[in-house]
């Protein structure tokens, strides 16, 4: 079918065979499978994925204020593209851990990374040459295994660990206890337009924090699952939640039906129920992953699927990012991909400008 998909500053006519779902009228257009082998999860791998891939698994993508692109990997630390060349920073260069779970930049231009072994702060302008400053449990983290990091509008750095929430006080980290979830795994953090902080947990659903009190949203209120993976506020003010076991929730408290929740899962719109990342592009299209089924986009009350049939050789997607130039990047199992508006291009160590091997 034909579909208009807006990416960046241009209107692109995408020709693809993805199926569309009218949320209000149709259900269950994608079949399920009870068995997922490596081919299904990671997709058919072109030869260059292992011989020249940026990394076998790209988890996070971020562009800093200098225009540098950072690619956080599952085991290779950081890949940094400065516009000219690709270089790597790992524990031997001072990074706290080789698995990158989050990337943000503060108001001073320092880039922060949450890792499997604490938090690292990178100062590119450091005259001493010691670019990394690391923070662990001795510096106040609840646990050295950090899973999420966020820089809010007030300049505060928040970090989610596998055993609770922390906040940077300018020198070290301090614990921020969430009532009834003090030791919960905090997988994702965001801030809404009103300045409320939101925290997605692995066992208690989501919490909204207005600076004084916490408000919980869980399965009891209509949330898809208490085992959440990611959280996003879109430009319309809707909150989106991805989960490990029950798909996606779209939440609008002004909607009276179902307490404001609209849920998408393997029974009514997407192929599976494990969703690891949700992203809104510059034109308001919502993108989310679905383990084993590639990518879904939500646009004009319809859902479209991108998978191997459309040339996406990556079923385990963990990162979306649109840079300042409108380039759209996708990371996951198999490495790094760029979406051009009508096709998916493999990105190798030869550079993001390279269309293939």
pLDDT tens-digit readout, 182-198: 999 999 999 999 999 99
How confident is the model over 141-161, as a mean pLDDT? 98
pLDDT at 258 exceeding the cut of 70: no
Going by pLDDT thresholds of 50, 70 and 90, the confidence category of residue 16 is very low
Predicted local distance difference test score (pLDDT) of residue 50: 54
pLDDT confidence of residue 179: 96
Q: Taking Cα atoms as reference points, which of 221, 274, 218 lies closest to residue 244? A: 274
**Mean pLDDT, range 55-74, rounded to an integer:** 96
The pLDDT value recorded for residue 257 is: 66
Provide the token pair at 264.
Answer: 């998408």
State the residue for tokens 């160590």.
349
Alpha helices in the chain (DSSP H): 38-42, 48-51
The DSSP code for 348 is B
State residue 341's pLDDT score: 86
Determine the Cα–Cα distance for residues 72 and 131; give it in Å rounded to an integer: 17
Structure tokens at 152: 């809010």
Cα–Cα separations (whole angstroms), residue 262 to 24, 119, 157, 162, 324: 11, 35, 31, 28, 31
Q: CA 333, CA 126: separation in Å to the nearest integer?
A: 34
Q: Which residues pair with 67 in a beta bridge?
A: none
Residue 285 pLDDT > 60 = yes
pLDDT at residue 45 in the model: 43
3-state secondary structure of 211: coil
CA distance 186 to 221: 20
Residue 244 to residue 347: CA distance in whole angstroms: 28
Selection from 356, 344, 321, 268 nearest residue 103 by Cα: 321
More confident residue, 87 or 34: 87
Whole-angstrom distance, CA of residue 125 vs CA of residue 131 = 8
Q: Which residues contact 152 (CB under 8 A, 6 or more apart)?
A: 158, 191, 197
Selection from 296, 317, 272 nearest residue 34 by Cα: 272
Look over the chain and give the mean of its residue pLDDT values, rounded to a whole number. 85
Cα–Cα distance measured from residue 12 to residue 285, given in angstroms and rounded to the nearest whole number: 13
Question: Which residue segments constitute the domains of the chain, with CATH numbers given?
Answer: 40-347 (2.130.10.10)
The set of residues, in sequence order, having a beta carbon less than 8 Å from that of 140 and lying 6+ positions away, is 166, 172, 173, 174, 175
Bridge partner residues of 161 (DSSP) = 146, 164
DSSP structural state of residue 205: -
Does the pLDDT value for residue 333 go beyond 90?
yes
């Amino acid at each position: 079918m034909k579909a208009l998909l807006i990416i960046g500053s241009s209107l692109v006519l995408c020709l693809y065979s993805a199926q569309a779902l009218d949320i209000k009228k149709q259900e269950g257009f994608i079949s399920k499978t009870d068995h997922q082998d490596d081919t299904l999860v990671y997709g058919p791998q072109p030869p260059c994925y292992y011989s020249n891939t940026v990394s076998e698994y790209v988890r996070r993508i971020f562009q800093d204020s200098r225009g540098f692109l950072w690619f956080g990997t599952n085991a290779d630390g950081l890949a940094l593209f400065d516009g000219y060349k690709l270089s790597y920073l790992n524990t031997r260069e001072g990074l706290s851990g080789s698995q990158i779970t989050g990337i943000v930049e503060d108001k001073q231009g320092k880039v922060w990374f949450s890792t499997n072994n604490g938090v690292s702060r990178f100062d590119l302008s450091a005259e001493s040459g010691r670019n990394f400053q690391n923070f662990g449990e001795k510096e106040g983290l609840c646990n050295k295994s950090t899973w999420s990091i966020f820089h809010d509008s007030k300049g505060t750095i928040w970090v989610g660990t596998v055993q609770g929430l922390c906040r940077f006080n300018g020198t070290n980290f301090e614990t921020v206890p969430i009532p009834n979830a003090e030791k919960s795994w905090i997988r994702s953090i965001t801030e809404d337009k009103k300045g409320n902080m939101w925290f997605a947990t692995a066992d208690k659903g989501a919490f909204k924090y207005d600076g004084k009190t916490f408000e919980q949203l869980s399965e009891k209120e209509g949330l898809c699952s208490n085992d959440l993976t990611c959280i996003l506020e879109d430009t319309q003010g809707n909150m989106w939640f991805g989960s490990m076991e029950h798909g996606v929730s779209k939440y609008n408290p002004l909607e009276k039906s179902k307490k404001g929740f609209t849920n998408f899962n393997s029974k009514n719109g997407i192929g599976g129920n494990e969703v690891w990342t949700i992203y809104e592009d510059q034109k308001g299209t919502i993108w989310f992953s679905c383990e084993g089924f590639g990518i879904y986009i939500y646009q004009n009350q319809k859902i479209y699927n991108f998978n191997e049939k459309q040339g996406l050789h990556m079923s385990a997607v963990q990162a979306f990012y649109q840079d300042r130039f409108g380039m759209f990047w996708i990371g996951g199992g198999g490495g790094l991909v760029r979406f051009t508006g009508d096709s998916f291009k493999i990105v190798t160590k030869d550079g993001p400008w390279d269309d293939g091997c």
